[in-house]
Structure 1
Amino acid sequence: MSTQTNKKSSAKSFTEKRPVLAVVLIEALLFIAVFMAGAYATIKELSVSAPILISYIPIAAVLAIYYTLKRKWGFYGFRSLSSIPKGDWGYYLPLLAVLVIIALKGFRQIEASEVLFYLGFTLLVGFVEESIYRGLIVNILRPKSVRTAVITSSVLFGVTHVLSVLSGQDAFQTVLQIVYALLLGGALALLMIRNRNILPLILFHFLHNFIQYVGNDNSDAYLGIDLAILALLAAYCVWLALSLRRTPLPGAAGQGINSIQ
């Protein structure tokens, strides 16, 4: 009996044996990559988007190679949209509402080349950040508990936005952005737990960032809209959390869960 137990233990991956350490390493590596890219971009006097491009392109390549070699695309949520139950599509409607509200700020005049750049840029960001926070981190911590997976991934997602302080953004807007990231991260993590499909989350993240980049950037003039979105996201998180408590869902190992533990 002990021999079989030892074999099962040895067969576990590093993320299964040390999930907390694995998450710390993932977040640390992301910070180091972005920091080094930012330092390089500053020295070379590159554009403000350069640090993300320099750091995220190799990260995206590593993620794609890892998913392919380990055959983990499906495990980390890259599944057919048909895998989402028809009755669950209603849970994504508030995300559509967020996009509509953001679009109400209007759009600035930009050239076609800039639009194409932001399309590629925001798709890259959506893939990398959703893969890390809702793909890797949520799935690594899910066996510990749903609560741990959701809260940790959301907090880490919010912490990354502290870097906005370094870009000259005022403190009030930074606080709003952190709270916004926490609530949005919580909602996306809960959706990932519910349906284990990351594609709608990447699509939302991509469209969300794209609308923001091509939209009006006068944040002070649209404070009311920002606060409305925060209220919507707070209610959205509560709704999703309560829905998980009421509905039996497949766990990470195929077992049912009836509550957020």
Structure 2
Amino acid sequence: MSNTFIRKYPYVAAVIAAVICTFITAAGSAAAEIAGLKEVPASLIMTASVALSILVGLLLLRRSGFSAKEAGIRRPASGSVRPVWLFVPLLLIEVIPLVIYGPEFTRPGAEYAALALFTVVVGFNEELYFRGLSFTYLLSKSRKQAVIGSSFIFGVLHAANALNGTEPVEVLLQIAFAFLAGLTLALIVSITRSLWVGILWHIVHNFVSFNTELVFDQTALIVIMAQVFILAVYTAGLWKRGTAEA
């Protein structure tokens, strides 16, 4: 997509970028499932597809005329926010399932190594597309629209989980969580001008989620509702500063 197209149709460009990300990563997951691969080779296939998605994303960034720095691939701006306010709420979100369920470290080491690699590329990939490309495209409208628009796209695309037989209530909570997480991460990017905080949190969150996944029951409902509440409060605290025009 050219810079002219992006500036003329920023929402269309943001959606196209998000769909490209989703399609490429979903293709890898589908290929692994169709082939009936075991855990480690399946993780490696999915990792390869996400790595391909990252390369495509970087090519889109280059073609769009924005620099890597403009898209947030840079160190956080000095003094942009106090570390305690930046990290404590995000860490608390991950502590809750660990305390309630405890990590399920019962699988072979090779599976955890493959899973760790997968979560690293997924964290970079999703932040590149949703808080890098989509957010940057929508900045031509306004900072507030960039925050809300990129988060809405991120949340809606998580509705794809409904296609694998997930319970409707769980899907709605996942969408709410994704939307609020998207808001929080977009606000952090708006304040720090950097993707790295979001990338690190995304990696930790995915790894913890994969190792504490249980049946969706009343306890799981309480966990995700607590996480959504923390994200809502955190978003409210960051909102004014994160949506102020530079």
Instruction: Indicate whether the TM-score tops 0.5.
Output: yes
Q: Is residue 131 of structure 1 aligned with residue 122 of structure 2?
A: no
**SS across alignment from 1:184:** helix
Structure 1 runs not aligned, ≥5 long: 1-10, 257-261
- In the alignment, which residue of structure 1 is the partner of 2:89? 94
Q: Is residue 106 of structure 1 aligned with residue 102 of structure 2?
A: yes
* 138, 153, 157: which one aligns with 1:141: 138
Q: Indicate how the Cα distance of structure 1 residues 42 and 15 shifts in structure 2: closer, same or farther if over 3 A, else same.
A: same
What is the CA-CA distance between 1:184 and the residue it aligns to?
0.7
% identical equivalent positions: 28
Match for 1:144: what amino acid? K
- In the alignment, which residue of structure 1 is the partner of 2:49? 55
Residue pairs, 1:156-171, within 5 angstroms: 156-171=153-168
Q: Please say which structure displays the higher CA radius of gyration.
A: 1
Q: Indicate how the Cα distance of structure 1 residues 68 and 23 shifts in structure 2: closer, same or farther if over 3 A, else same.
A: closer
* 204, 209, 213: which one aligns with 1:207: 204
* 188, 208, 220: which one aligns with 1:191: 188
Q: Indicate how the Cα distance of structure 1 residues 164 and 244 shifts in structure 2: closer, same or farther if over 3 A, else same.
A: closer
Q: Is residue 22 of structure 1 aligned with residue 13 of structure 2?
A: yes
What is the CA-CA distance between 1:197 and the residue it aligns to?
0.8
8 Å Cα contact 1:119/1:210 also seen in 2: yes
8 Å Cα contact 1:66/1:72 also seen in 2: no
Match for 2:216: what amino acid? S
What is the CA-CA distance between 1:54 and the residue it aligns to?
5.3
Deviations 1:22-50 (A, max 9, x none): 11321332344345445544543346866
How many residue pairs get aligned? The number is: 237
Of the structure 1 ranges 127-136 and 218-227, higher mean CA displacement relative to structure 2 is found in 218-227
8 Å Cα contact 1:84/1:197 also seen in 2: no
Normalising by the residue count of structure 2, what TM-score does the alignment of the two structures yield?
0.84
Deviations 1:143-192 (A, max 9, x none): 21122111111111112211211222211111111111011111111111
Normalising by the residue count of structure 1, what TM-score does the alignment of the two structures yield?
0.79
Of the structure 1 ranges 119-128 and 159-168, higher mean CA displacement relative to structure 2 is found in 159-168
8 Å Cα contact 1:138/1:189 also seen in 2: yes
8 Å Cα contact 2:21/2:129 also seen in 1: no
8 Å Cα contact 1:115/1:214 also seen in 2: no
Structure 2 runs not aligned, ≥5 long: none
